[in-house]
Amino acid sequence: MRVLQVDSGREWRGGQHQVWLLCRELGRDPGIEQILVTRTGGELARRAAADGINVQGTAWEIALDPRAWWHLRRTIAAFQPDIIHVHDSHALTLTATVALGRTLVATRRVDFHVRPFGAWRRPDRIIAVSGAVKQMLSGDGIAGDAITVVPDGIDPEAIRRAAAPPFDIRGQLRLSATAPLVVNAAALVDHKDQRTLVRAAHYARELAPELHWIIAGEGPLRASLTAEIARLELQGRVHLVGYVDRIDALIAEASIFVMSSKQEGLGSVILNALALDRPVVATAAGGIPEILPPAVLVPPGAAEALAQKVVDVLHHPPSLPFPPRFTARTMAHGVLDVYRALL
């Protein structure tokens, strides 16, 4: 089976991490010949190549880069793939125009609406990373039998190895060695809703004055979050630490890992926290309730409820074992079943 994987790879976020894991797992199957087309020099290209994946990098500096379009056209003509699997909207838009007559699979990782006549109508099968994503697609008119749910997965052992040596975020911020930490790791974009997280820190100040909140990530909302932190006089309690390349080591030092999203396809970084035996509190957005029990969830946007839940979990942390169905191997087997069904 010849499989062409396509991801624009213009950033390194949860989606690109999943593409890397999928390529790595499928690369272990001798019956699969695989090529990954992604941005030259990107983190996805680097990691996949290091794992022996055939990476054919291309210029992909803007969302719909015409150079990537030409590269895809040439690669498809030369490789003659049985399956083309695209992993983001930009990759789908470009690939759909040059994959005529080819079996096209697309993974949908976000619970956003799709346009009535957009490229998401083109794939032969859409892989939704959660039931919530499938429900959104179905509500937007995609036929249910054209959607298969295959949840994201991680490599728990690799996550645990990546957590050593210690990150020492308390030392870097000159905090007490025993200071309790709430850690959030997500891009600073609207649907991740760190503004609610900052407001929760404000409400929690009286409930747990010793609590510090770490927000790891970069994005267009950094300036507005900085302003909100200043407005609420939380400069000494809420710390925007930017992009962290050793995110698992940071999560391992958290007293609680928190997700404050108002929309979320699945929230695979929560799996990292569970693999590291960290307590988790999150909003009941999108696919998050498919990972976590109701006892640790609050409604999206409910800052005061989020604050109270964090303090409750800080004092009485629940046992949240890692759900074995969310491994990279299980994810890859699910994707391979989709390929085989289409062929």
Per-position DSSP letters for 19-57, written without gaps between them: HHHHHHHHTT-TT-EEEEEEETT-HHHHHHHHTT-EEEE
What does the domain layout of the chain look like in residue ranges?
2-153+327-342, 156-324
DSSP state of 327: B
Per CATH, 2-153+327-342 and 156-324 having the same topology is answered yes
Determine the pLDDT at residue 248: 98
Tokens coding 36: 């990954």
Q: What does the alpha-carbon distance between residue 39 and residue 273 come to, in Å, rounded to a whole number? A: 29
Selection from 90, 91, 129 nearest residue 107 by Cα: 129
Tell me the mean pLDDT per 10 residues along the chain, length 343: 94 93 97 97 96 96 94 97 97 95 97 92 97 97 96 97 97 97 97 98 96 97 98 97 96 98 96 98 98 98 98 96 96 98 96
pTM of the model: 0.94
Look at residue 334 and give its three-state secondary structure: helix
Domain 156-324: which CATH number of 3.40.50.460, 3.40.50.970, 3.40.50.2000, 3.30.465.10: 3.40.50.2000
Q: What does the alpha-carbon distance between residue 220 and residue 189 come to, in Å, rounded to a whole number? A: 6
Determine the pLDDT at residue 43: 94
Residue type, 81: P
Q: What does the alpha-carbon distance between residue 44 and residue 127 come to, in Å, rounded to a whole number? A: 20
* CB neighbour list of residue 245: distance below 8 Å, 6 or more residues apart: none
Beta bridge partners of 154: 327
Fold of 2-153+327-342: Rossmann fold (3.40.50)
* CB neighbour list of residue 146: distance below 8 Å, 6 or more residues apart: 123, 124, 125, 126
